[in-house]
Amino acid sequence: GNSVTQMEGPVTLSEEAFLTINCTYTATGYPSLFWYVQYPGEGLQLLLKATKADDKGSNKGFEATYRKETTSFHLEKGSVQVSDSAVYFCALSEGTYKYIFGTGTRLKVLA
């Protein structure tokens, strides 16, 4: 079945450091891929998405590129801020009205 694997956290970085959170997926077809962010006590907010191979999603300085050859959708940001501290979920959807989430990666950014 379809699945999403993302790197375990927590990830602790200093402010202005470079961020990478790895995400790989397994799917039988051509899924849409998403990154969601969850702040403490809140629901999930869409951070960015990509719907086909080689698409790059970007938002608020975060980027991720849909790589079909490596079945990956790694999240990157060039310079993190304290306000980026949250839990990040990679997810996929393959047209079945189901969204499959990874286990989440907690990011902590220190001033």
CA dihedral angle for residue 74, residue 19, residue 76, residue 42, rounded to 10 degrees? 90
Nearer to another protein, 43 or 69 (CB): 43
Nearer to another protein, 76 or 94 (CB): 94
Nearer to another protein, 57 or 80 (CB): 57
Extended beta strands in the chain, E state: 3-6, 11-14, 19-21, 23-26, 32-38, 44-50, 56-59, 62-65, 75-77, 86-93, 99-101, 105-110
| Residue 77 Cβ vs another protein, minimum distance, rounded to whole Å | 20
Nearer to another protein, 83 or 96 (CB): 96
For another protein, the binding residues (CB under 8 A) are 32, 34, 36, 41-46, 49, 51, 89, 93, 95, 97-99, 101-104, 106
| Residue 18 Cβ vs another protein, minimum distance, rounded to whole Å | 25
CA-wise closest residue to 109 among 39, 41, 48, 33: 39
Do residues 39 and 106 make contact, with C-beta atoms less than 8 angstroms apart?
no
| Residue 50 Cβ vs another protein, minimum distance, rounded to whole Å | 10
| Residue 98 Cβ vs another protein, minimum distance, rounded to whole Å | 6
